[in-house]
Structure 1
Amino acid sequence: MSNRMTNIVVPVLAVILGLIVGAIIMAISGYNPVVGYQALWEGILGDSYNIGESVRTITPYLLAGLAVAFAFRTGLFNIGVEGQLIVGWFAAVWIGVVFDLPMIVHLPLALLAAAIAGAIWAFVPGVLKAYLGVNEVVVTIMMNYVALHVTNALIKNMSDGSDSTERIHESASLKSSFFEQITDISRMHNGIFIALLAVFVIWFILQKTTLGYELKAVGFNRHASEYAGMNVKKNIVVSMVISGALAGLAGAMEGLGTFGYVAVKSGFTGIGFDGIAVSVLGANSPLGVVFGATLFGSLKYGAGNMPSAAGIPEELVSVIIAIIIFFVASGYIFKLLLEKFSKKKEVK
């Protein structure tokens, strides 16, 4: 079996096995798997509203997964995507509320502010990693908490003690009247185009540019890259900055698209952490992230219909989603088995 064919067959096989095991768990727990999966399907693609909301859920996952994948491809573990997303969300909304400009200026400015905020938040662990050898995992995890509490304080200050800001001006909004009409007033917005454009840009950087080659080389072997004359420290910082900018844009999708404001948070959004799972599902490649984000986002939103339509408890729904994702994330095992089977067949 060719490598390209294997890359197609393995994810499909993993999803099927995940669904089968999920069905067994539902049956053992006393629930009808057919009814359960029907509710899941309807929750994702049941009508135009659900389709719109599924796409809306997928959008920030695309950028969060891309942020994790980009850093990982360059040998870094950016566990701080959550914090970078939060500061990006705040920065985008701040620009959207404070300024009142023509849309052609206002919206790009708000998106740029989100990207810069996320990049700055990732710049700190990048510099500490590059020049002091500080573990980026520890620093990025800690900065998630700093981001959460700093933005909460800024929101309080910005809104005179209120728990949420004013709504952004329409000139900074990603909302689309066209999508509202065709999806029965869902919250699907134009951010999906920005996310897909980001996927293409990151793919182009990694595959077609010298910068991408150097970043991947540093990820494969830092010492060899340094011996070859590459500026390893600079590439580490650049990688983290680009990753943080993508995470900041993921926050802008929520601030400028889904909600239109930012509120005080008692905990993390979870999108940044879920981006790690999305990246793993997508094998840490830009195009794979599209698959990972689509699967993860669809399951996340569609599963919300299972408790009401099929009577399946939310806890069991979470287990079923986790089982499906586990099998997809373990796809390399199936790939290994297929390769061994193909070799034995060739020998015979």
Structure 2
Amino acid sequence: MSGDSTTTPGGATAPDGTGGALKEQPAAPAPKHEGEGTKVIREIMSGNAMISVLAVLVALVIGGILIAFTDPRVLTAMGYFFNDPGATFSAIWAAVSEAYGALWRGATYDPGSRTWQGRLGIFETLTFATPLILSGLAVTLAFRVGLFNIGAKGQIILGATFAGVVGFMIQLPPGIHLIAVILAGAVGGALWGGIAGFLKAKTGAHEVIVTIMLNYIAVSLVLYLLKNQLKDPSSSNPISPRMHESAMFPLLLGPNYRVHAGLILAVLAVFVVSWLLNRSTLGFEYRAIGANPRAARTAGMNVSRGYITVMLISGALAGLAGVTQLAGTEKMLDADIAGSIGFDAITVALLGRSTPWGTFFAALLFGAFKAGGTSMAINADVSIDIVAVVQSLIVLFIAAPPLVRSMFRIKEVRREGVKA
């Protein structure tokens, strides 16, 4: 307008109505119009891979301390610490090494197991990682547009519910049936995610509040359906009938291992999301909106449409995670079909620095925690809750990069602008 100076989104200032050259100004790391949620996402994504590695390392060290000081041998040795301090340190080393050794063997390869199924824990790791990859991608994609998709749990549940209706209520030829189940799950998750995207775009409703509330609605809705329309008449529990064989993912390595073809779907999703974000026009718009919504709007991008479409795609990915749970491992629908996957997906996305391949490897790590945690509990007599503590500590340190930097005296590298 006449009489006012105009500030461009990049930080350059144009004099009023003079048509003169723009004067370059340093780009601000966080524009004033940015919401608090976007600032947090930007801060988390600004860290490098080393911060993620150090966060995992610190979490494992603290977990080791908890293991040591809850071990009976350590507590006994501490009773005569001043007489024989070496015995205490030996007991600490034995407790921690046995626990983490059992976790590693259970997640990868255990030569001491009597069965091949027990030896090759890597396949159990891949089984646990499959839904985490897909749900982690769902959260990652929303992060790149500056949105917190906390509703992965609800989207997983709705995706599994839609897939279940097609999988155990409809009879179709093999091959076609599985494809129909996959598409139904994607549609169910997309619809649930799309609600949050639409409300964000059209009313400005905060996506965190909306998605959390949708999680509660999804749990109650599926529980109602399992007690009524979808209930297995042969069971007194609120569960669905078993999926038809034609609607389930084939096992990749035979009946001795649970790893299934849903893993292939998850890996394909990583390639697709990577291409979408880095090679497509839509992905460029997403990254631009995530970096600076006002600048994107000024450049002619439809920010509202971006919010809606990204939540549709994000919900579809989470819905596919529900499909892999139902048609890959669980076989029957229940109210706890999502388990802790929705929460773990947030951690996986944070640990992966909101990149598709980073999310993939972070999901493998958390799959290893889940697969190895059982082995640690059985073979090292360590509570499986310790694994949950380690995972939670990873969340803490990943979400606070300055804390990790201060612990290891790492200087933050200041950059002009923000890399999308």
TM-score (norm 2): 0.74
Pick the aligned partner of 1:158 from 218, 224, 230: 230
- Is the alpha carbon distance of 1:331 and 1:212 closer, same or farther for their aligned partners in structure 2, counting shifts above 3 Å? same
Question: Any conservation in 1 of the 2:405–2:412 contact (CA below 8 Å)?
Answer: no
Question: Any conservation in 1 of the 2:376–2:382 contact (CA below 8 Å)?
Answer: yes
Q: Matches of 2:168 and 2:400 in 1, distance apart? A: 44
Q: Following TM superposition, by how much is the alpha carbon of 1:333 offset from its aligned partner in structure 2, in angstroms? A: 5.5
Which region of structure 1 is more displaced relative to structure 2, 81-90 or 330-339?
330-339
Which residue in the other structure is 1:3 paired with? none
Q: Matches of 1:313 and 1:253 in 2, distance apart? A: 28
- Is the alpha carbon distance of 1:57 and 1:341 closer, same or farther for their aligned partners in structure 2, counting shifts above 3 Å? closer
Q: Matches of 1:331 and 1:283 in 2, distance apart? A: 11
Q: Does 1:292 align with 2:362?
A: yes
Question: Any conservation in 1 of the 2:194–2:311 contact (CA below 8 Å)?
Answer: yes
Which residue in the other structure is 2:411 paired with? 340
Pick the aligned partner of 1:35 from 95, 98, 101: 98
Which residue in the other structure is 2:287 paired with? 216
Q: Matches of 2:160 and 2:48 in 1, distance apart? A: 35
Which region of structure 1 is more displaced relative to structure 2, 313-322 or 130-139?
313-322
Q: Matches of 2:409 and 2:277 in 1, distance apart? A: 28
Which residue in the other structure is 2:277 paired with? 206
Pick the aligned partner of 2:298 from 213, 227, 236: 227
Question: Any conservation in 2 of the 1:118–1:245 contact (CA below 8 Å)?
Answer: yes
1:175-196, CA deviations, whole angstroms, 9 ceiling, x for partnerless residues?
A: 31x4126xxx121111011001
Q: Matches of 2:396 and 2:147 in 1, distance apart? A: 23
3-state SS of 2:121 partner: helix
Q: Following TM superposition, by how much is the alpha carbon of 1:260 offset from its aligned partner in structure 2, in angstroms? A: 1.4
Aligned length: 333
1:238-280, CA deviations, whole angstroms, 9 ceiling, x for partnerless residues?
A: 0100000000000000110001111244x96221111101111
Question: Any conservation in 2 of the 1:22–1:324 contact (CA below 8 Å)?
Answer: no
Which residue in the other structure is 2:57 paired with? 16
Q: Matches of 1:23 and 1:340 in 2, distance apart? A: 27
Which structure: greater helix fraction? 1
1:209-245, CA deviations, whole angstroms, 9 ceiling, x for partnerless residues?
A: 1100111111111111111111111111001000000
Q: CA RMSD in A?
A: 2.4
- Is the alpha carbon distance of 1:48 and 1:113 closer, same or farther for their aligned partners in structure 2, counting shifts above 3 Å? farther
3-state SS of 2:332 partner: coil
Question: Any conservation in 2 of the 1:18–1:325 contact (CA below 8 Å)?
Answer: no
Which residue in the other structure is 2:18 paired with? none
Which residue in the other structure is 1:44 paired with? 107
3-state SS of 1:158 partner: coil
Identity of aligned residues (%): 40
Which residue in the other structure is 1:310 paired with? 380
Which region of structure 1 is more displaced relative to structure 2, 25-34 or 227-236?
25-34
3-state SS of 1:79 partner: coil
TM-score (norm 1): 0.88
Q: Matches of 1:270 and 1:342 in 2, distance apart? A: 35
Q: Matches of 1:339 and 1:16 in 2, distance apart? A: 15
1:261-317, CA deviations, whole angstroms, 9 ceiling, x for partnerless residues?
A: 11244x962211111011111011111101211111211221122222111123334
Structure 2 portions without partners, runs of 5+: 1-46, 75-94, 111-117, 415-420
Q: Matches of 1:98 and 1:84 in 2, distance apart? A: 21
Pick the aligned partner of 1:172 from 247, 266, 270: 247
Q: Matches of 1:315 and 1:93 in 2, distance apart? A: 31
Which residue in the other structure is 2:143 paired with? 72
Which region of structure 1 is more displaced relative to structure 2, 93-102 or 138-147?
93-102
Pairwise mapping of residues 249-328 of structure 1 onto structure 2 (< 5 A)?
249-265=320-336, 269-324=339-394, 326-327=396-397
Question: Any conservation in 1 of the 2:232–2:239 contact (CA below 8 Å)?
Answer: no
- Is the alpha carbon distance of 1:319 and 1:212 closer, same or farther for their aligned partners in structure 2, counting shifts above 3 Å? same
Question: Any conservation in 1 of the 2:167–2:244 contact (CA below 8 Å)?
Answer: yes
1:57-80, CA deviations, whole angstroms, 9 ceiling, x for partnerless residues?
A: 000000111100100101111111
Question: Any conservation in 1 of the 2:155–2:319 contact (CA below 8 Å)?
Answer: yes
Question: Any conservation in 2 of the 1:40–1:302 contact (CA below 8 Å)?
Answer: yes
- Is the alpha carbon distance of 1:334 and 1:76 closer, same or farther for their aligned partners in structure 2, counting shifts above 3 Å? same
3-state SS of 1:103 partner: coil
Which residue in the other structure is 1:116 paired with? 187
- Is the alpha carbon distance of 1:275 and 1:8 closer, same or farther for their aligned partners in structure 2, counting shifts above 3 Å? closer
Q: Following TM superposition, by how much is the alpha carbon of 1:100 offset from its aligned partner in structure 2, in angstroms? A: 1.9
